[in-house]
Amino acid sequence: MTRAVKENDPQTNLSVNIGGLLLKNPVMTASGTFGYGEEYAPYVDINRLGAVIVKGVSLHPRRGNPPPRIMETACGMLNAIGLQNPGVHVFVRDKLPFLKQFDVAVVVNIFGETVDEYKRIAEILNRTEGVHALEVNISCPNVEKGGMSFGADPKAAFEVTRGVKGATHLPVMVKLTPNVTDIGEIAETVQAAGADVISLINTIAGMSVDVENRKPNLQRVTGGLSGPAIKPVALRMVREVTKRVSVPVVGVGGITNASDALEFLIVGARAIQVGSANFVNPRATMDILEGIEEYMVRHRIRDIQALIGTLNEGEDIC
């Protein structure tokens, strides 16, 4: 038997706590796919989101990579934006005030070329009102320095995580790259360095060629693959990481509908991020949230905690 699901249905508890960050529901926006919130505010009720994770912010402004920066691929897209952003100071002055109007957790994705840069951004944001958590980007494949080069090296990943933790009281979520042999090892390392939450996956490094002109379709040649194409990879890695660490894990990669999101929750993710799907369906986050609620009602699940990590891997499944 089903019934209409109302907003904030008292029968259904969707709230989750990820490393000290309390979310009213597990639906977050993935960094780089939701701008600074304002871009999607005409289409989405920001107040209903679990959290907004903003576009990656660096210490100094970054121009980003030359175009063309994106290319559609089968069931997804490649991007090589290169972390274009106005820098942390302009972010705090011009972008953050818009998000402060809403009753939503604001997570700032931070990026540095050196450990010291990560620390300095973390310090600045630590004393900034309206920032509720940090997501440490050690996984961008589209920059010369920093990014994935930190996330693919356990020692560097440890240093960045420890540096950021020492510079802030905010919950620290570390976003991992899938472009490694053993993601569990990196996850264990950042947990040991103090990460409160681990999010994964960032994009998978890839490329695409224009055969008529024998040229790469992206000016930077390689980019990061996102979209439904990467969901099975992300899910497999989330499962792997949840088995290796005790801190909460946030699943991201190719989630376009509620069923996708539920897969991640069932596998053990405590929350999820919606990325490229925002581009295709500006209301993807709302549709996913409503779909999760509908599923919980249909399965008589009152608290989302009762769903997380309940994958049945028993022998009765063939």
Partner 1 sequence: MNHSGLPVPGKIVSNRQLINEHYLMTVNLPEPIMNPLPGQFIMVMLNRRGEVFLGRPFSIYNYNRRRNKATIDILYQVVGRGTRLMAELERGDTLGIFGPHGKSFDMFPHVRNVVLIAGGMGVAPISYLASYYKNNIKAFNGNIICYSGARTSDHLLGMDRLIATCSSVHISTDDGSAGYCGAVTELFAGELPGYVPDQCVLYACGPSPMLKRLSEILKGHAIPCQVLLEQRMACGVGACLGCVVEVIHAGEESQYARVCVDGPVFDIRDINWNTTLGES
Verify binding: residue 94, partner 1, rule CB under 8 A: no
Cβ-count burial of 295 within 10 angstroms (0-12 exposed, 13-18 middle, 19+ buried)?
middle
Q: How many CB atoms lie within 10 A of CB 166?
A: 12
Pick from 49, 51, 77, 262: which binds partner 1 (CB under 8 A)? 77
Verify binding: residue 34, partner 1, rule CB under 8 A: yes
Verify binding: residue 211, partner 1, rule CB under 8 A: no
Residues that are catalytic: 140
Verify binding: residue 283, partner 1, rule CB under 8 A: yes
Q: How far is the CB of 97 from partner 1 (least distance, A)?
A: 17
Verify binding: residue 253, partner 1, rule CB under 8 A: no
Q: Comparing C-alpha atoms, which of 55, 53, 45 is closest to residue 102?
A: 45
Site string for partner 1, 221-240 (x = CB under 8 A): ------xx------------
Which region, judged by CB under 8 A, interacts with partner 1, from 28-36, 129-137, 139-147, 292-300?
Answer: 28-36
Contacts of 172 (CB under 8 A, 6+ apart): 19, 122, 133, 134, 136, 161, 164, 165, 194, 195, 196, 197
| Residues in 36-65 that interact with partner 1 by CB under 8 A | 39-40, 42-43, 55, 63-64
Verify binding: residue 209, partner 1, rule CB under 8 A: no
Q: How far is the CB of 100 from partner 1 (least distance, A)?
A: 19
Helix (H, G, I), strand (E, B) or coil at 208: coil
Nearer to partner 1 among residue 85 and residue 191 (C-beta): 85
Q: How many CB atoms lie within 10 A of CB 161?
A: 26
Contacts of 99 (CB under 8 A, 6+ apart): 36, 37, 38, 46, 52, 54, 106, 130
C-alpha distances (whole Å) from 71 to each of 161, 219, 237 are 32, 10, 25
Q: How far is the CB of 215 from partner 1 (least distance, A)?
A: 11
Which region, judged by CB under 8 A, interacts with partner 1, from 104-112, 235-243, 273-281, 294-302?
Answer: 273-281
CA–CA dist 9, 14 (Å, integer) = 9
Nearer to partner 1 among residue 206 and residue 228 (C-beta): 228
Q: How far is the CB of 283 from partner 1 (least distance, A)?
A: 6
Size of the site for partner 1 (CB under 8 A): 36
Verify binding: residue 12, partner 1, rule CB under 8 A: no
DSSP 19: T
E runs forming strands in the chain: 16-18, 21-23, 27-29, 51-57, 70-73, 76-79, 105-110, 133-137, 172-175, 197-200, 204-207, 209-210, 215-216, 222-226, 249-252, 271-274
Q: How far is the CB of 84 from partner 1 (least distance, A)?
A: 5
Verify binding: residue 144, partner 1, rule CB under 8 A: no
Verify binding: residue 24, partner 1, rule CB under 8 A: no
Interface with partner 1 (CB under 8 A): 32-35, 39-40, 42-43, 55, 63-64, 66-77, 79, 81, 84, 227-228, 256, 276, 278-283
